[in-house]
Amino acid sequence: MIGSGQPHSRRVVCLVGSGWRFTSGISYYTCLLANALADRHDVGVIQIRQLMPRRLYPGRRRVGQPRALTEYRPDVSICDGVDWWWGRSLVRAVSFIVSRRPEVLVLEWWTATVLHTYLVLALTCRLFGARIVVELHELQDSGEQTFAPVRWYGQWGLGVLLRLAHGCVVHSTVDRETLKGGYRLEDMSVTVALHGPFDQYLSTGEPSKSSESAITAVKQAPGAGVINLLFFGTIRPYKGLEDLIMAFNEIDAEEVSGLWLTVVGETWEGCTEPTRLIAESPHRERITFVNDYVSDDVVSAAFSHADVVVLPYRRSSSSGPLHVAMSWGLPVVVSRVGGLPEAAADYDGAIFVPPNDRQALKAAIQQAAKLVGRRFTDPRSWTDSIEALLSTADVPDGRPNLEVPSLATREG
């Protein structure tokens, strides 16, 4: 088996995850994981192309616009992709599976909008004896939780999908316990694998002309003598950006003269309170606000110009911006919620704060200021993710069969 007999046997693996039309953190995650897997395995990717009706998507304004410079390796086969209404796109995806006959199908789960597609792809792969692994980035999107019918559909549907799967991978022990508490897993293998490194922004090449104004904006903070605090990511109620802005607004004039706040992110779910707080801030002249889902070259510019990254989340399973900050080796102030303490474990540049606590946040920023100029080593690796996925799939030597085996539960 992969976990014991032949750990480096070359396998045929198919990933299903977000494509680039509705670019999100899962788009990058799927790409980076596929590229890492391709070092030792034959990898194909089915992209979810048209995720949902465009008018319902919080980032509808930039759907289809190029944002990512990150690319799949040439040796990764791509099926682009499946639309939410299916049509010929589903036929193309099923044909892709039939032609490749994967031994392992990995379904990246982050939203209930992919459920109907995932069920069909999982059933198709089961017919060919493939092992199914669901990788949970969060059990349910926070926006979907606010609508009762969508919340019920997502919870019910995930339960159905898990019954089709042979194993599940989560990013923290917190998510593992939440999953076990909400679903009857019985003999299912559940493995904890920490989120892999988001180092795709370390080298993005020459910036495009269309990004020049945004790059200039994110580099607005003065250099020597001023500490640039960076908040990065979609602006949603659970991100706690309001707490950071209010804490910044409360800093006295003398202390704030040595600080700058840069906020880069796209507003979702009507979360406009941060915009108002920035506009009315007594330190408005020391705040840069780029209200957009920016391209990779702008992300690179923002992190290269940052001194401290501040992520005051109120809840979170995992955080792409946290892993970007760690890949840059920056000091990071992050809330002690959900899976974030585990994600940043062994990262010496992490300073943890309780959520919704502005005084603690200000104290942590002062502490992080003492670390400015130091660079820390990112302890995360895609190797851990790959080993977790394949050991959870538990593929036997030779072609797998259709029978569902009895799997011992993994809780490590």
User: The tokens of 80 are what?
Assistant: 């682009």
Mean pLDDT of 93-111: 96
Q: Which pLDDT does position 4 carry in this prediction?
A: 38
In angstroms, the CA 322 to CA 405 distance is: 37
Per-residue pLDDT for 120 more than 80? Answer: yes
Residue with token string 């040796």: 75
- The DSSP bridge partners found for residue 308 are 229
In angstroms, the CA 392 to CA 389 distance is: 5
Q: Which pLDDT does position 327 carry in this prediction?
A: 97
User: The tokens of 263 are what?
Assistant: 């906020």
Helix ranges restricted to H, 136-265: 142-145, 148-164, 173-182, 212-218, 241-250, 253-256
- Beta strand 77-83 with 42-50 is parallel
Q: Which pLDDT does position 395 carry in this prediction?
A: 59
Q: Which pLDDT does position 9 carry in this prediction?
A: 81
What is the percent of the chain where pLDDT is above 70? 93
Mean pLDDT of 314-321: 92
Mean confidence (pLDDT) of the chain: 91
Q: Given pLDDT bands bounded at 50, 70 and 90, which one contains residue 2?
A: very low
In angstroms, the CA 137 to CA 323 distance is: 14
Q: Is 294 helix (H, G, I), strand (E, B) or coil?
A: coil
Question: Which of 3-7, 183-187, 321-325, 403-407 has the weakest average pLDDT?
Answer: 403-407
In angstroms, the CA 43 to CA 8 distance is: 14
Q: How far does CA 98 lie from the centroid of its chain?
A: 29
Q: Given pLDDT bands bounded at 50, 70 and 90, which one contains residue 8?
A: low
Radius of gyration for the chain, computed over Cα atoms and rounded to the nearest angstrom:
22
Mean pLDDT of 309-325: 95
Mean pLDDT of 100-128: 96
Q: Which pLDDT does position 406 carry in this prediction?
A: 32
Domains of the chain: 12-196+382-393 (3.40.50.11930), 209-369 (3.40.50.2000)
Q: How far does CA 126 lie from the centroid of its chain?
A: 27
Per-residue pLDDT for 70 more than 60? Answer: yes
Per-residue pLDDT for 307 more than 60? Answer: yes
- pLDDT digit string (tens) for 210-244? 889 999 999 999 988 899 999 999 999 999 999 99
Position 16, amino acid:
V
Mean pLDDT of 104-132: 96
In angstroms, the CA 375 to CA 280 distance is: 34
Per-residue pLDDT for 6 more than 90? Answer: no
- pLDDT digit string (tens) for 9-21? 889 999 999 999 9
List, as one string, the DSSP characters of 337-360.
-TTHHHHTTT-TTEEEE-TT-HHH
pLDDT winner (highest mean) among 177-181, 222-226, 301-305, 391-395: 301-305
Specify the pTM.
0.91
